[in-house]
Structure 1
Amino acid sequence: MTSAPQGTDVLAFAREQVLDQGVGLSERQVAEVLNLPGEALPDLLALAHEVRMRWCGPEVEVEGIVSVKTGGCPEDCHFCSQSGRFPTPVRSAWLDIPGLVEAARQTAATGATEFCIVAAVRGPDRRLLGQVREGIEAIRADGNDIQIACSLGMLTQDQVDELVEMGVHRYNHNLETARSHFPQVVTTHTWEERRETLRMVKAAGMEVCCGGIIGMGESVAQRAEFAVQLAELDPHEVPVNFLIPQPGTPYERYEVVEGADALRVVAAFRLAMPRTMLRFAGGRELTLGDLGAEQGMLGGINAIIVGNYLTNLGRPASRDLDMLNELKMPIKALGQTL
């Protein structure tokens, strides 16, 4: 493999290596992409879209999420309003089983094939795992065959095995940011602890969903580092979030990521991970707005969360579904792989 040229020629190199061969860019090459001038952005997005279509196809996976346990988390993730260590407006609450079933029913009604059960915890205790098991059984008893994912924090091997036995097919556990930047974002656990949970999940046969948040004070070089660290993990899915500065958190006064920079990140992540599902997640409405969201869908994204997020409102699911229809991007059918 030849080394990439400098400057805007990196796009020509990426066309040969990523589009033609399906091989992701290196950390240095991703950094070059992230530093491309504004006038190169349309060509970058067009190439990222070609890569997505070539290696993933036109289908879009639609997902809904629900919080079964909100707030009161003991960890100090500086971006998170659900941390019990910060004076945020979020208070601890549990969702009952009928509420969980109804959320799954509404998610399936949008055409979504994925339903993720999320909890604000360091890791699940017996009560939480029991709630998840009971919820999954109730969802199935309701006649809903939607695929179920979970995001319950760091796991032990026994907990991984238990989730597999429950029928959870995908586990979300974000690395959040580059390894070099993580200590500035979280101090109560390490990047390596998160990585170990992902290792066990993958070894157990569950699909790995792992992404992070852009806009937490990381450098452009650290965004490139993060993209390649995710690529090395070879996750099934990478959710791309943009920081929503939350009142009461250490990041409440951080600047919102500019739209052009957000689109560069989307395209660069696609060029680093040509075969991976890239999902628009939290912060896209704030950072990109309606037009930017469409540009992202035409710039490498092939999955989307519809409806509300954990502590922030998203736009109505119908608007996202209308957008996909206008873009002629079919929704992935249940049981179909991307």
Structure 2
Amino acid sequence: MTDILEVARRQVLEEGKGLDAEQVLQCLTLPDDRLEDLLALAHQVRMRWCGPEVEVEGIVSLKTGGCPEDCHFCSQSGRFDSPVRSVWLNIPELVEAAKETAKTGATEFCIVAAVRGPDERLMAQVREGVKAIQEAVEINVSCSLGMLTRQQAEELVAMGVHRYNHNLETARSHFPNVVTTHTWEERWETCKLVKEVGMELCCGGIIGMGETVEQRAEFAAQLAELEPDEVPLNFLAPRPGTPFEHYGLVEGGEALKTIGAFRLALPRTLLRYAGGREITLGDLGTRSGMLGGINAIIVGNYLTTLGRPAEQDLELLSELQMPIKALSQTI
């Protein structure tokens, strides 16, 4: 039987062609004693097709809680009895968060809102916030505001928003087990729209929501088909009051296999550490992922969960001799 890592060495490392779903599945089901080989190859692929730079990003929630959707992993849904309550951030707070993010060396600042899609009030807030940030600090502004109309997408472009986050969350076949108030196809259409109007697309999901290993491979292939500029990889951190509150954590080795396999499916994409890595991987696992295909990180806290202090991540990048991508390289 042909060794999948030898196939990947030729196909991905040498030719730059990502693995398909069946090949990703073979990587995800490698025996544990091949994990280091998988991560080493994924790191080579990252260095060959992306280079050593790491893109650093901070995120802030403009509107927290009260979302009408029923994403089963999310404590911001107004349908669940979670401790998160609806809160709006004011513009000075938004600008201050952007300034603090820029101080870390980050080039990306993402404004997030817990909504199905933006209404006029939210678009007005975003318009005012983006303008204030651009006047106060030199940083790229991204947004994550749910599903968009073409008019809204074009308006975001006109504001100067250069990247938009809209996660598929999981494989198409598993999505109805995660969300019932909208479809996977609706998310896919927004992702395609983002690319059509000229914004960069950030699109990833969450590992550990009851999907099978086959569905993880399916998910990687679907992301590759979409060709996003960035893929944030989250690992489920079960939130109180949500339908997934009793789910277990993804095992560390399993998480690292996922990172390596996704890198081999997406050789040229920014693969970003996002939520859940702190509790799933810890310090040693975080280091292994940085040497196993990851080339972007979110520093500081997430939307409803705590992250690692930014200083810890920046120290790790320095120790690994991975330079932070400069703003001029991201524009």
TM-score tier by shorter-chain length is: over 0.9
Separation in 1, partners of 2:201, 2:138? 20
Does residue 289 of the first structure (1) align with residue 282 of the second (2)? Answer: yes
- In the TM superposition, what is the alpha-carbon distance from 1:137 to its structure 2 partner? 1.1
The 5-angstrom pairing of residues 16-31 of structure 1 reads: 16-31=10-25
Q: Which of 139, 149, 153 does residue 146 from structure 1 map onto?
A: 139
- Alignment of 1:55 with 2:49, yes or no, is yes
> Per-residue CA shift, 1:129-168, capped at 9, x if unaligned?
10011011111222x1200000000000110011001000
Matches within 5 A, 1:96-245: 96-142=90-136, 144-245=137-238
**Secondary structure at the counterpart of residue 272 of structure 2:** strand
In the alignment, the residues of structure 2 paired with residue 139 and residue 35 of structure 1 have an alpha-carbon distance, to the nearest angstrom, of: 45
**1:312 paired to 2:316:** no
For residues 253 and 63 of structure 2, what CA distance do their matches in structure 1 show?
Answer: 35
What residue identity is the alignment partner of 1:35?
A: T
RMSD between aligned residues = 0.8
Give 1:80's aligned residue.
74
One-letter amino acid of the counterpart of residue 29, structure 1: Q
User: Secondary structure of the equivalent of 2:173?
Assistant: coil
CA distance in 2, matches of 1:26, 1:152: 30
CA apart distance, 1:335: 2.2
The one-letter code matched in structure 2 to 1:165 is A
What is the alpha-carbon distance in structure 1 between the residues aligned to residue 328 and residue 241 of structure 2? 41
- How far apart in 1 are the matches of 2:330 and 2:67? 34
Distance in 1, Cα, partners of 2:123 & 2:94 = 14
**Structure 1 unpaired stretches of 5+:** none
1:278 matched to 2:278? The reply is no
Secondary structure, counterpart of 1:335 in structure 2: helix
How far apart in 1 are the matches of 2:132 and 2:59? 17
CA distance in 2, matches of 1:108, 1:26: 37
2:86 aligned partner, one-letter code? S
Output the amino acid matched with 1:308.
Answer: N
Runs of 4+, deviation exceeding 3 Å? none
Q: Please tell me the residue identity of whatever aligns with 1:189.
A: H
Residues 1:325 and 2:325 aligned together: no
Aligned residues: 331
Q: Is the 8 A contact 2:107 2:330 kept in 1?
A: no
Deviation at 1:265, TM superposition (A): 0.4
Give the 3-state SS of the residue equivalent to 1:240 in structure 2.
strand
Q: Which amino acid aligns with 1:34?
A: L
Q: 2:29 aligns to what?
A: 35
Q: Deviations over 1:297-316 (max 9, x none)?
A: 00000000000000011010
Distance 2:200 2:20 in 1: 24
Amino acid at match of 1:244: A
Instruction: Please tell me the residue identity of whatever aligns with 1:66.
Output: V
Alpha-carbon distance in structure 2 between the residues aligned to 1:234 and 1:140: 28
Once residues 196 and 226 of structure 1 are traced to their aligned partners in structure 2, the CA distance between those partners, rounded to angstroms, is 16
Amino acid in structure 1 at the alignment position of 2:267 = P
Q: Does 1:15 align with 2:15?
A: no
Q: Tell me, what secondary structure is at the counterpart of 2:327?
A: coil
The Cα of 1:85 is off from its aligned counterpart by 0.3
The match for 1:254 is 247
The SS at the match of 1:285 is helix
Deviation at 1:337, TM superposition (A): 4.2
TM-score (norm 2): 0.99
* Distance across 2 between alignment mates of 1:100 and 1:302: 26
State the AA in 2 paired with 1:52. Answer: R
Letter in 1 for 2:288: Q
> Secondary structure, in 3 states, of the residue corresponding to 1:274?
coil
